[in-house]
């Protein structure tokens, strides 16, 4: 997948992936979704954010996780 709404620049927020050059980190959007906020609530919280930005942020996070293995606690 090609991500057209995610930008990474060392001059902006230390190179953290952000939405469309805005100072809205992908991790913030994903964290809000993880906290149970709906897409509409996240977009309402950030007036510059668009629904397609929200969707692409989630897709970006999913793709990033496909690229690496994270340590998980085993099930007892």
Give residue limits of the domains in the chain.
Answer: 6-66
- Average pLDDT per run of 10 along the chain, which is 76 residues long? 92 95 97 98 97 97 82 65
What is the chain's percent helix, strand, coil content, to nearest 5? 45, 5, 45
Structure tokens belonging to residue 68: 């690496």
Distance CA 28, CA 9 (A): 17
- pTM of the prediction? 0.85
CA Rg, the chain, in Å?
A: 13
Residue 72: per-residue pLDDT: 66
Residue 66: per-residue pLDDT: 84
- Residue from 17, 24, 14 nearest 3 by CA: 17
Residue 13: per-residue pLDDT: 93
Topology annotation, domain 6-66: Arc Repressor Mutant, subunit A (1.10.10)
């Amino acid at each position: 997948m090609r991500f057209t709404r995610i930008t990474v620049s060392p001059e902006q927020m230390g190179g953290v992936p952000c939405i469309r050059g805005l100072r809205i980190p992908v991790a913030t959007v994903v964290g809000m979704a993880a906290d149970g906020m709906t897409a509409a609530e996240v977009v309402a919280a950030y007036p510059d954010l668009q629904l397609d930005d929200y969707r692409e942020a989630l897709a970006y996070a999913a793709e990033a996780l496909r690229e690496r293995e994270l340590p998980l606690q085993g099930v007892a």
